Amino acid sequence: MINNIEVLALEFREFCVSNRVVRNIEDIFLKAGFDTSDVSQDRQVSGTRRTLVEEFYASIGWENVEDIRKFLKVIEYALILSFVDEDQKEWLRQLCTRCGFEVDQNGYTIYYTSRGIGKPVKNLIFVSIGPKPEIVLSDSVSNDIEIVKNAEYCLVYDLPIKLHGLLWGELVNWWSELTESPSSDYRNSERKLYARLRKSLATNEERLLFRRYFEKFHDSLGNKSPALIPQVYLHYDPYTIKQLHGQKRLTHQRMDFLLLLSDRNRIVIEIDGKQHYSADGIAEPKMYAKMVAEDRLLKLTGYEVYRFGNYELQGESGEALIDEFLHSLFKKYEIEVE
């Protein structure tokens, strides 16, 4: 058990013993997915409440990431349920922070960074169809940004990303509010959002992947399908190529597509034309090396990166390849598709 988890577990046990009744303790553990039939019933620890917590703890593999996340769910439920008063909730939040865990601004979501990406999405800037947006830090301490120029050419999704990631239905509802569309006119908002996203795509191959995603999976998953977000800024250099005299400090600022399959699992999909690895039709090893170096950095920070070559996505075989890839990706993340 690593130190910050150990301290958090010990302190939370004492919190339960001192502040909760047996029924409350059972409620928060069971809601987080624990099963009383899986825990030992012969542990002899003084006090019924302490015994109950220790029995649940005995079923946790403290070196297992998923078990730790399951334990954090227990604390999240304690931060949600009404039988815990606000002073106690604030004490729990401060405890989590002291132990190295980030508590979301919603007051109850706890981020654990040992797998995937733990920090929340704050600014999702995407589908730029004009000049590069000019961005400033409006609050450098909180890392809040403001687009001061060319905001009309891009979209900025600034709502919290939930545990299940960002769904298509959530993106449509956000778009409806952004464009002040009637909530009853969902289908019309959906069509307009689809058209706006598609407008940002630069190549036939990008449009093919975008179209197949909706043709193949939207009917099956509906509004619960993960939102396929085109042309997302993952890096940002405030200077233009002209201002940098033709030099690039960041190899690749925008990614072709992003899928947020949970609050921690982020999938980058890239479709590479020859401009990614050649200049004037001649293979350029230095360009390729920069691209794969950037992929390594993304992977080390928790992103998964999948690349297609333009050549792969030609004709019917291209459609089949996209379908097979998306089926396999969803299967990996246990997203059920018909």
11 SS3 class: helix
Question: At residue 250, does pLDDT exceed 70?
Answer: no
What pLDDT band is residue 249 in, cutting at 50, 70 and 90?
very low
Q: What is the model's pLDDT at position 2?
A: 44
127, 154 Cβ separation under 8 angstroms: yes
Q: What is the model's pLDDT at position 72?
A: 93
42-52: average pLDDT = 67
Which range scores top for mean pLDDT: 29-38, 135-144, 305-314? 305-314
Q: At what angle are helices 3-19 and 65-80 packed, to 10 degrees? A: 30
What pLDDT band is residue 218 in, cutting at 50, 70 and 90?
confident
**For residue range 190-204, what is the model confidence (pLDDT) as tens digits?**
999 999 999 999 999
Residue 108: Cβ-neighbour burial (10 angstroms; 0-12, 13-18, 19+): middle
**For residue range 114-128, what is the model confidence (pLDDT) as tens digits?**
445 555 566 788 998
Q: How far apart are CA 1 and CA 275, in angstroms?
A: 48
Name which of 258, 234, 236, 265 is nearest 163 in CA terms. Answer: 265
3, 68 Cβ separation under 8 angstroms: no
Count CB atoms within 10 A of the CB of residue 309: 14
244 SS3 class: coil
Which range scores top for mean pLDDT: 13-17, 64-68, 249-253? 13-17
Q: What is the mean pLDDT of the chain?
A: 82
222-238: average pLDDT = 82
The more confident residue out of 146 and 90 is 90
- Weakest-pLDDT range from 70-74, 97-101, 273-277: 273-277
Q: Quick one: DSSP state of residue 312?
A: G
Q: How far apart are CA 334 and CA 337, in angstroms?
A: 9
Q: What is the model's pLDDT at position 3?
A: 47
The more confident residue out of 237 and 101 is 101
**For residue range 290-327, what is the model confidence (pLDDT) as tens digits?**
777 788 888 877 789 999 988 899 888 999 999 999 99
Q: What is the model's pLDDT at position 212?
A: 94
Q: How far apart are CA 144 and CA 136, in angstroms?
A: 9
The more confident residue out of 76 and 4 is 76
What pLDDT band is residue 181 in, cutting at 50, 70 and 90?
confident
Q: How far apart are CA 277 and CA 235, in angstroms?
A: 20
Question: At residue 329, does pLDDT exceed 90?
Answer: yes
Which residue ranges make up each domain of the chain?
Answer: 3-111, 157-332
Question: At residue 149, does pLDDT exceed 90?
Answer: no
Q: What is the model's pLDDT at position 244?
A: 46
Q: How far apart are CA 271 and CA 257, in angstroms?
A: 9
Q: Quick one: DSSP state of residue 227?
A: P
Q: What is the model's pLDDT at position 71?
A: 93
The more confident residue out of 290 and 238 is 290
Which pTM value belongs to this model? 0.64
Q: What is the model's pLDDT at position 263?
A: 67
Question: At residue 97, does pLDDT exceed 70?
Answer: yes
In the chain, % of residues over pLDDT 90: 32
Q: How far apart are CA 156 and CA 169, in angstroms?
A: 17
Which range scores top for mean pLDDT: 40-49, 51-60, 136-145, 206-215? 206-215
Q: What is the model's pLDDT at position 172?
A: 94
Q: Which amino acid is at 271?
A: I
What pLDDT band is residue 270 in, cutting at 50, 70 and 90?
very high
